[in-house]
Structure formats: structure tokens, C-alpha cells
Amino acid sequence: MKVLDADFAKGFIHLCESGFKRGWHERNGGNLSYRIKPDEVERISEELNEKGPFLPIGTKVQELAGEYFMVTGSGKYFGNVPLEPENNIAIIQIDQSGENCQIKWGLCNGGVPTSELPSHLMNHNVKKRVTDGSYRVIYHCHATNIIALTFVLPLKDEIFTRELWEAATECPVVFPSGVGVVKWMIPGGREIALETSKRMEEYDVVIWAHHGLFCSGEDFDQAFGLADTVEKAAEILVKTLSMVSQKRQTIQPEGFRQLARAFQVDLPEKFLYEK
């Protein structure tokens, strides 16, 4: 089977197109990765190149040795992925040391995987472990309103979570474990990857101050839907804060507790503090 005929490749490309249409991927902004299932690898094996170049990952992900990922290329534009997938995305395999990857397909005119590969792979590493392998997607986008909020709200998990939950009733149901926040750091390396992956132990969403967000999920719909929900809440909050410095009314901690019972989700009490 051809790579581009596989359902996972279609889902990957569809997400790139959806994110681009939302305006979260100016120029080469953002990146995406998918941990390919063994049977999916099997079906596309005829197209995988045994002689592709090996590249250092920039960190060590021993537990992912041998795994295959579909990833966006560094410097490639999300808007171009649907037009020329083979030129803008790649399939890589992690080597046995967990420190290098080999390009097995794609980036046909040259190039390397996303500069955020350390963050993607360290997040996959955590999510694979804490979800018993069910999470397969890591998505990074430059969502406008979330970025705007990182100039205004204190960079604390408790505050971002509570403010986003208050912005739209469905939020605590969609991300009941909350969101993590990483202060401004240099992107593209192991250090920011480490800070991000630590928070992925607990959260499915991690915000990078003055940069964007990382979302994780079982599949493309879940990861994209999460980013969409978080960004929508951020937009509501930005509009609210633009109208008044203080909300006249909002959802109260007791309201969240009732919501938790009605929707059977656990909402950690650390987010339900009295203001």
C-alpha cells in the first residue's frame, strides 16, 4: 500500500489543513507527529526506504526504540502539506539507542524532521507510558488567543486552568486534568522538551508562554479538538478581558463540582480555589 493511501496519513494531512485554516500556522509555525501502529507500518512497508539518512534526535528516548513516526518537516509550511505531502512530511524510525532517527519516507526534496522533535518524542514517551500506549498524536500550534493570554495571566497551571474552565462550560469536561504552563524558554531543544514532558505526565495540554501550545491525544480528532476547545476558551477570555477588567459573573467552584458529578469527570480541587 502507498503511504498516502493509508488512513493515518489522510488523518495527518487533514489535521494540517484544519490547523492552517484556523490561522495557527503562519509560515512554518507549528508541527505534528503521529506514532504509527505496527500493522500500519506493515501495510506501507513496500514504500519504506532502508537507506535513508540517520539524524541525531537531540535527546534520548530509549523506550521508543524501533517505533515509527509520521512527522512534519522543519521549516515546512502546514498550508503546503495537503498540496505536496511527500515534500513536507516524513516517516522516521527511532534507532536502538533511542538517540537517532532514520528517514524512511518523505521529505523528497531534502530536509529534516521538525526542530521540535525532542519535545514531540519526549511527550510521546510520557504519553505512551501513562496511557498504556493509547495516545498516538502530539500537536504543536501557534494558537493566537492562548499566546495573547500568556502576556496577561500569571504563568501558573492553576490560574490558566481555572480561567479557561470558566470561559466555556464544556472546558472542564474536555480537559478535566487541566493545562500546564511552561515559562518562556528557547524552543527547539532538550531543555524545553523536558519541562513540557514533565507536565504531560499530568496534563494533555501544555502552553508555552509567548509561543503556543502542545496537545496530545489518542487520535488526530482528539488532539485537534482539544487545541480547538482550549483556543476557543482563550478567545472568549480575551474578549471578556477586553470589555471589562473584572467579570460580573462566572461559574463558581460549586458549579464545577456539580458539573464533575453530572459528567462523571474528576476535577482536581487544586483548581477550585476561592478567589
Any contact of residue 187 with ligand 13P (CB under 6 A)? yes
Q: Which three cell numbers stand for residue 182?
A: 511552561
Helix (H) or strand (E) holding 157: helix 157-167
Any contact of residue 240 with ligand 13P (CB under 6 A)? no
Any contact of residue 30 with ligand 13P (CB under 6 A)? yes
Cβ-based nearer residue to ligand 13P, 38 or 75: 75
Shortest distance, position 24 Cβ to ligand 13P, whole Å:
10
Helix (H) or strand (E) holding 255: helix 253-263
Q: Which three cell numbers stand for residue 115?
A: 526542530
Q: Vertex 169, ends 165 and 171: CA angle to 5°?
A: 45
Any contact of residue 115 with ligand 13P (CB under 6 A)? yes
Q: Vertex 147, ends 141 and 150: CA angle to 5°?
A: 140
Is the C-alpha dihedral spanning 188, 194, 23, 10 positive or negative?
positive
Specify whether 163 is catalytic: no
Shortest distance, position 20 Cβ to ligand 13P, whole Å:
13
| The binder of ligand 13P chosen from 8, 15, 19, 31 (CB under 6 A) | 31
Contact between 223 and 15 (Cβ < 8 Å) = yes
Among candidate residues 40, 116, 231, 235, the one labeled active-site is: 116
Q: Which three cell numbers stand for residue 235?
A: 478567545
Q: Which three cell numbers stand for residue 91?
A: 516517516
Cβ-based nearer residue to ligand 13P, 116 or 195: 116
Any contact of residue 88 with ligand 13P (CB under 6 A)? no
Any contact of residue 74 with ligand 13P (CB under 6 A)? yes
Cβ-based nearer residue to ligand 13P, 186 or 244: 186
Residue span binding ligand 13P (CB under 6 A) among the ranges 11-19, 24-32, 92-100, 131-139? 24-32
Scan for cell 508562554, then name that residue: 209
**Among 254, 247, 260, which residue's Cα sits nearest to residue 171?**
260
Any contact of residue 28 with ligand 13P (CB under 6 A)? yes
| The binder of ligand 13P chosen from 40, 67, 116, 235 (CB under 6 A) | 116
- 34: which DSSP letter? E
Q: Which residues are catalytic?
A: 116
Question: What residues line the site for ligand 13P (CB under 6 A)?
Answer: 28-31, 72, 74-75, 114-116, 187
